[in-house]
Amino acid sequence: MELKNLLLEVKNRIATVTVNRPAAMNAMTPETLEELQRTVAEIDGNDEIRAAVITGAGAKAFIAGADISLMRDMTSTQARELALKAHGIFAAIERSSKPFIAAVNGYALGGGCELSMACDIRIASDNAKFGQPEINIGILPGFGGSQRLPRLVGKGRALEMILTGDMVDAAEALRIGLVNRVVPQDELLSEAHKVAAKIASKGRVATRLCKEAVVNGLEMDLARACAYEAELFGYSFATADQKEGMSAFLEKRAPVFQDR
């Protein structure tokens, strides 16, 4: 798969996707979105991949927003189509059976912040900064920021970030629940890969069911979500991995999952 704006490396069952436009602070372009769409589909369809890490090239930026020079003269229809394109890609990340980890180095603004929020886990370097500054250029978040941010940090904090356009640093992002953990810049990728490797060591079926339970259940009322969880829980007892996992626990040995 030929990529110009992204790098894709698969090693030890972990895919690492790097947005590779450091001279432009990894600003997101329509071409980058096209490549990301293909890359997410490739990762989701590859049974050898168990988890994915998304990061940005260089130490300055994860993704410092969209490329405004390419957006300035868009028509209303073109802008809506761009937003729908991003929504589809970010939804594919959420729906993927593979957990995605955002390793956020430096600025994660606009579409960069929105991409990180579509990932399942966010790990930030201590120099990371997050923001939805679209209001400063006369628009609103268009890649899911107005919806995912309040779901993660609450309505009040989300509206403050969106309406002021102010950034929050890594420590504040951790405090409000926007990221899972903060690590020194030079430990970011190793920490993200450490988490990915731990996830990759689990059974693939249980990993998929856990992600489905959380992601799909959040869109339901509590009663329906619990019923949905019970269905998935029951299904997990029809798998070979359940038999192996419980037998290994009782026999005090490491399980050897068969992913079925």
Residue 211 token pair? 């992600």
Euclidean distance between CA atoms 42 and 250, whole angstroms: 38
What sign has the CA pseudo-torsion 61, 71, 8, 46? positive
Burial readout 185-196 (b: 16 or more C-beta within 10 A, e: otherwise): eeebbebbbebb
The secondary structure element, H or E, covering residue 52 is strand 51-56
231 is catalytic: no
* Closest to 199 in 3D by CA, of 44, 41, 14: 14
Among 134, 191, 231, 244, which one carries the catalytic annotation? 134
Among 48, 81, 94, 114, which one carries the catalytic annotation? 114
List of E strands, 70-151? 100-104, 107-109, 121-125, 129-131
Euclidean distance between CA atoms 142 and 150, whole angstroms: 14
- For 25, other C-beta atoms within 10 Å of its C-beta total 21
- Report the first-to-last Cα separation within the chain, whole angstroms: 29
114 is catalytic: yes
Euclidean distance between CA atoms 89 and 234, whole angstroms: 31
100 beta partners? 52
The distance of Cα 178 from the centroid of its chain, to the nearest Å, equals 12
Which residues form the catalytic set? 114, 134
